[in-house]
Amino acid sequence: MSVAPLWAFVDELDDSLLQTRQMEDIWLIKFYAPWCRICKELDPTWHLIGSELKSVGSPVNVGKCDAVANTGLAKEFNVRTYPAIFMWKNDEKYLYSGPRTADAIVEFAHRVSGPLIRPLTSVQLFQHALNRHDVMFVYIGASSQLKGEYLSVAREMIVSTFFFSAGRDVVPKAVSLPALPAVVVFKDGDCFGYNEASDGSLKAWIKRERFRNYGKVDDHTLYAMGDSGKLILLALLDEVNASQQNLRFRYKSLVWKVSQDYKEVYSRNILFGFMEDSEYISGLIMGELRLPAIIMLNLSTDSYFMPPASLETERHLLDFVDQVLDGSIQAHGGNGLPQRVRRFIYDTKVLFLLLLSEAPVLACLLVAIPFGVLLLVCFVCLKAWSDYGGQDDDDDNRPVFSRRQTADKKSD
């Protein structure tokens, strides 16, 4: 029996989908542009995703759409960048903004295509979910107003987080629970519940707590962390330079140790982690950092803090963290008007260089067209000025009696 090629599980879509799609259909769609290099690099992964979802009997249909040629479908999804990945379920459109890996996108498809809140009906099922998820939110108890709020948050945040429900009888006996009903988060080998009086809204609390206290961070995760409202302390590592191996290890170990030993002190205000290079941080600081380095980020204001001196010990790092928290270290960056203008110029330059490498003809046209328009405007202005100046000279060179005759005729 012949095996279907991977591309056979991905449909090429066009604007007709707007008329032919049935309400019960669930689509995972990649919007691309023909000139986009990243879109082309994603193709093998996309075909693998289509094959994997089909092999497990998922109800999700996988497709791709040329957004340049099919503007109707692209407009329906408000596509602005390429590639753009969406799940279309019922009347809802869910934008995927995570890592562009097969595992991450398949998990997104499973998460969004399933129920908003997944019931855990046995101790074994509860333990399986707990082993599989680094961070797990669970509603425990009967129906209540709190469950309605939980459902509302799940509807909005299902793109990034699983939501579960369970009865008290399936939760391990060793778990100490607050008064029921309750929303509890399990993470970092611990669990604690939501308290409206101290934690504010349920949505804000879930946004703060949906990340592990410490872990490896990529650009997509870092961007999402901005919604937590917490500061982010990172060890930035350079895996290329072998001569800095000892310093990399020290910075990574220092951040990890502080995150573990002082969890009760800092976890409410700070997330910890490490990164191996970062385009996102380069864009934030509008330059390149000398790696390895330690940096504290405040993504709610697009600002960052750098240690004033070398961090040799845990005490040095603790002093740096405390100085950031008490405001005694000056923040760099920010989202004021001058910084926004600088960041716009920087982002435009980076985008142009990227476009120049991927589509040099298009990049040249983008420069040539406005430059040509500017030259045309200058030419028209100079021509008009020249004609006006020439007419004045002709008037001045006319005989005196001729000008007098003209004036006499005007007076008559």
CA distance 66 to 11: 12
Give the residue among 254, 246, 140 at the shortest CA–CA distance from 186: 140
**How far apart, in Å, are the Cα atoms of 92 and each of 37, 40, 75, 95, 159?**
29, 27, 15, 10, 11
Is 194 within 8 Å of 184 (Cβ atoms)?
A: yes
Which structure tokens are listed for 357? 């490498």
Give the span between the Cα atoms of 96 and 119, in whole angstroms: 24
Q: Are 51 and 6 in contact (CB under 8 A)?
A: yes
Let me know: does 96 contact 110? Beta carbons within 8 Å. Answer: no
Task: For tokens 């879109």, name the residue.
Answer: 39
Place of tokens 């992964």: 45
Active site residue 65: no
Angle (CA) 140 146 147, round 5°: 60
Which residue is catalytic, options 36, 65, 364, 378? 36
Identify the active-site residue in 39, 191, 378, 381: 39
Look up 39 and say whether it is catalytic.
Answer: yes
Strand ranges across the sheet with 135-140: 118-120, 163-166, 135-140, 182-187, 190-193
Provide the annotated active-site residues: 36, 39
